[in-house]
Structure 1
Amino acid sequence: MSTAAPLATAEALLDDLRPGDAFFSSPRHALHARGVRAVLPDGPHDRLAARVDALLADAAPGDSRAIALGALPFAPDGPVRVVVPESVRWAAPFAAGEAPTPGAGCPAAAGRDSTGPTWSVRPVPAPATYAGIVDEAVGRLDGELQKVVLARSLELHADAPLDPAALLRRLALRDPRGYAFALDVGDGETLVGASPELLVARRGDRVIARPLAGSTPRRPDPGEDHERAAALFRSAKDRHEHGVVVDAVADALRPLCATLDVPAEPALVGTATMWHLGTTVTGRLADPQPSALALATALHPTPAVCGTPPAAAHELIAELEPFERGPYAGAVGWQDAAGDGEWVVTIRCGLVRDNALRLFAGAGVVAGSRGEDELAETAAKFRTFLSAIGVEEER
């Protein structure tokens, strides 16, 4: 990364977040962007990386500190939002030991904080309907379609305007080793989230990806939580689902790398609400070196958010899901003029507009999946955001 050494702290950057600003944090650093110097015009997705390279060159010729940041949609023909900001500040990452203060900086649910707004929650589709959709999808799996990721949404409304910066603070501090982000995606909406999944990062000729697939909800009791994690690690179903994703990531990166290391065994990755199976794939890029965004577009969408094969999974998702995903299950991140950058999978996220908040969560459907189990998994994933605002989903 061709930027000066971090001087501030990630929390200090959060304190200075204003409407329209952008924020991104990773285990390595945090950035705060303000203003818009250039906006990526509409154009073909298959030339996205080259167009962003040109945008950086045109917006800041010779300025190695310039970055492009934005969000890519899930759908291959969806709207892309990428900008070159007027100014960027960098900071050290959040400290690993930081944790949110209950009730601080964020509205709470009705009945828990008389000063906070009252929330209404509408699931789309209804929970029982989603479970039925999953069961239908299992019956549609065949020799070609091996996996499909099906999502559901929660539409929340508060009786007072929402503050994206306050939401982001609660999310970021719950999982300080994750990837937190907030940025304007147009139409008056702000994308806010805290993803555990690194799609890809590039630093010079080095590339790293950490796909996650195979999940189980965490439990407050330490013994039960440990048993849950151990059962996930042993699960043949989850190991198979994870292996499909890792193979897809490795197959996409291998032609672009001189060397590629793919561990034979996954690791357990914990967030505040979930255990995941994760594999850290590392490599050294071949010449000519693709940019971070070129790597991201080569990988997106992985089977972790779409399915296998992607075309058939896309088709079934469009048929069965009763909403547009927009930036959910896309990618969010940044790239500098040298081609270095970080892009993460846009999960554990929501779209904020005035007093409305739309949340999304998905589950991988494979042979052996059950609707009630995947419903429970999505409910656990929703807790990342819902617990930050003091709301419980009604089942």
Structure 2
Amino acid sequence: MSLSLHEPATDPLASPGAATALLEAYRPATDRFLATPHRTLLGRGTTAEIAHGEGPLSHRVRDTLDALRRPGTPAPVVVGSVPFASDGAAALAVPETVHWAPPLREDPLVALPVPHEAVRPQWRVREVPSPARYGETVAAAVARMRAGEFDKVVLARTLELASARRPDLRAMLRRLAQRDPAGYTFAVPSGPGRTLIGASPELLVARRDGRLTANPLAGSVPRSDDLAEDVRRAVGLLESAKDLHEHAVVVAAVREALTPFCRDLDVPERPTLVRTAAMWHLSTTVTGELADSDATALELASALHPTPAVCGTPTDVARAVIAESEPFDRGPYTGMVGWQDADGDGEWVVTIRCAEAEGRSLRLFAGAGVVAASTPEAETAETAAKFRTFLDAVGASL
């Protein structure tokens, strides 16, 4: 199937299978792929990269896109990822060509089986830190919170996967897309020889035609294969005082960050449920009308990042606790991945349920929100459940 170039508002006349065609056409290392509930994007080649430097990242992106704008042509688009660290270098680029299609969730072909791999990698898995050590870290954070030092911290752990052969990133991306076609599936270069790949359930913020949407998720419970138990867990999550408090803290932070940009902001009083293949999440959809039409999607995302859902509160204290507690650099994990065009419209997603691929290795990430009511056992189990999304995609297990 040939690829078509469309404006960011996807072509309603695009033929069935157009989104799957972009997914199948993805080439690791050079392409940038992003599927959202509203559109599918494939960027090819590189016209410009956003240099690391002084001043707000959103301004450097805006200036680059403005310089590349040409009359009578589609607005140029930047695609890529921004790291968790405030002083880290973003991996953002303007592709030479951008191909658009409707969302994968509307594509009947996305459910077709992934072509069989002749030989699937046999993975050696190393947990960093070990579950026991992670539990000790959670317990230490809980003790500090009960002493009044801070309110919440998100603590992560990683799985380091190594194999004798390179993983098939195209097959991996297809499996991730099939597992949650209504979510946010992505694969973008994250550094020399590295690819960030994943399937996030969480929209940080989207901007379109002067309106914004944010969808913070906080408060989670693993899914169950037993239907009755799965329903019980979902209901329990909606009634959990611990999880409702954790979610309320995140929503309050989102409201505080976005209010200065909006003449009108709608924040529902109670959360609803969002499910993925592995987890139930508490979810609140925040919408608003921008007061300043110059506020871009990346500017809004930068004002939100990092939310308490991926860092903690107060933010500065939580960042320090993370640096003291996690024996690894998060890199792009719990940063953001997405796109923005020269008109300022775009979508930025929280970079979770992801891995960074390099050579024959994969590094998977998962975290849990730790509050004073947390237990080491529950948070360790939550991270193990969150790893399932990616472990299933690569054919590995704990």
- TM-score, normalised to structure 1's length? 0.94
Question: Matches of 2:51 and 2:353 in 1, distance apart?
Answer: 28
- Asked whether the 8 Å contact 2:355–2:365 carries over to 1, the reply is yes
Shift in alpha-carbon separation, 1:106–1:246, aligned structure 2, 3 A: farther
- Asked whether the 8 Å contact 2:10–2:102 carries over to 1, the reply is no
Q: What per-residue deviation string (whole Å, max 9, x for no partner) do you get for residues 218-252 of structure 1?
A: 00111100000000010000000000000000110
Give ranges in structure 2 of 5+ residues lacking alignment. 1-6
Which residue of structure 2 aligns with residue 128 of structure 1? 132
Which residue of structure 2 aligns with residue 76 of structure 1? 86
- Asked whether the 8 Å contact 1:17–1:165 carries over to 2, the reply is yes
Question: Matches of 1:386 and 1:2 in 2, distance apart?
Answer: 32
Question: Matches of 1:118 and 1:338 in 2, distance apart?
Answer: 46
Secondary structure of the corresponding residue to residue 100 of structure 2: strand
Question: Matches of 2:121 and 2:261 in 1, distance apart?
Answer: 50
Which residue of structure 1 aligns with residue 185 of structure 2? 180
Which residue of structure 2 aligns with residue 11 of structure 1? 20
Give, in angstroms, the shift of residue 163 of structure 1: 2.1
Question: Matches of 1:90 and 1:246 in 2, distance apart?
Answer: 32
Question: Matches of 1:23 and 1:323 in 2, distance apart?
Answer: 27
Which residue of structure 2 aligns with residue 315 of structure 1? 320
Q: What per-residue deviation string (whole Å, max 9, x for no partner) do you get for residues 160-191 of structure 1?
A: 11122211110011001100000011121000
Matches within 5 A, 1:9-158: 9-19=18-28, 20-44=30-54, 46-62=55-71, 63-95=73-105, 104-105=114-115, 115-141=119-145, 142-158=147-163
Q: Which amino acid aligns with 1:59?
A: L
- Asked whether the 8 Å contact 1:98–1:176 carries over to 2, the reply is no
Percent identity between the two aligned chains: 55
Q: What per-residue deviation string (whole Å, max 9, x for no partner) do you get for residues 261-306 of structure 1?
A: 0000100000000000000000000024300000000000000000
Alignment match of 2:167 (pick from 134, 158, 162): 162
Question: Matches of 2:95 and 2:324 in 1, distance apart?
Answer: 38
Question: Matches of 2:149 and 2:172 in 1, distance apart?
Answer: 41
Q: Which amino acid aligns with 2:90?
A: V
Shift in alpha-carbon separation, 1:106–1:313, aligned structure 2, 3 A: farther
Secondary structure of the corresponding residue to residue 351 of structure 1: strand
Which residue of structure 2 aligns with residue 329 of structure 1? 334
Question: Matches of 1:184 and 1:390 in 2, distance apart?
Answer: 22
Give, in angstroms, the shift of residue 64 of structure 1: 3.7
Q: Which amino acid aligns with 1:123?
A: E
Structure 1 stretch displaced more, 259-268 or 8-17: 8-17
- TM-score, normalised to structure 2's length? 0.93
1:284 and 2:289 aligned: yes
- Asked whether the 8 Å contact 1:59–1:84 carries over to 2, the reply is no
Secondary structure of the corresponding residue to residue 329 of structure 1: coil
| Aligned-CA RMSD value | 1.7
Question: Matches of 2:128 and 2:69 in 1, distance apart?
Answer: 43
Question: Matches of 1:295 and 1:378 in 2, distance apart?
Answer: 29
Give ranges in structure 1 of 5+ residues lacking alignment. 108-113
Give, in angstroms, the shift of residue 106 of structure 1: 7.0
Give, in angstroms, the shift of residue 391 of structure 1: 1.4
Structure 1 stretch displaced more, 280-289 or 321-330: 280-289
Give, in angstroms, the shift of residue 254 of structure 1: 0.5
Question: Matches of 1:272 and 1:368 in 2, distance apart?
Answer: 26
- Asked whether the 8 Å contact 2:34–2:186 carries over to 1, the reply is yes
Shift in alpha-carbon separation, 1:121–1:106, aligned structure 2, 3 A: farther
1:242 and 2:247 aligned: yes
- Asked whether the 8 Å contact 1:292–1:343 carries over to 2, the reply is yes
- Asked whether the 8 Å contact 2:104–2:110 carries over to 1, the reply is no
Secondary structure of the corresponding residue to residue 36 of structure 1: coil
- Asked whether the 8 Å contact 1:249–1:302 carries over to 2, the reply is yes
Question: Matches of 2:394 and 2:120 in 1, distance apart?
Answer: 10
- Asked whether the 8 Å contact 1:2–1:338 carries over to 2, the reply is no
Give, in angstroms, the shift of residue 139 of structure 1: 1.0
- Asked whether the 8 Å contact 2:210–2:293 carries over to 1, the reply is no
1:380 and 2:385 aligned: yes
Shift in alpha-carbon separation, 1:219–1:3, aligned structure 2, 3 A: closer
Shift in alpha-carbon separation, 1:135–1:101, aligned structure 2, 3 A: farther
Question: Matches of 1:100 and 1:352 in 2, distance apart?
Answer: 25
Give the 4+ runs in structure 1 shifted more than 3 A: 1-4, 60-64, 96-102, 104-107
Give, in angstroms, the shift of residue 18 of structure 1: 1.2
Alignment match of 2:196 (pick from 180, 191, 200): 191
Question: Matches of 2:149 and 2:269 in 1, distance apart?
Answer: 25
Question: Matches of 2:172 and 2:94 in 1, distance apart?
Answer: 24
- Asked whether the 8 Å contact 2:115–2:171 carries over to 1, the reply is yes
Q: Which amino acid aligns with 1:5?
A: D
- Asked whether the 8 Å contact 1:105–1:169 carries over to 2, the reply is no
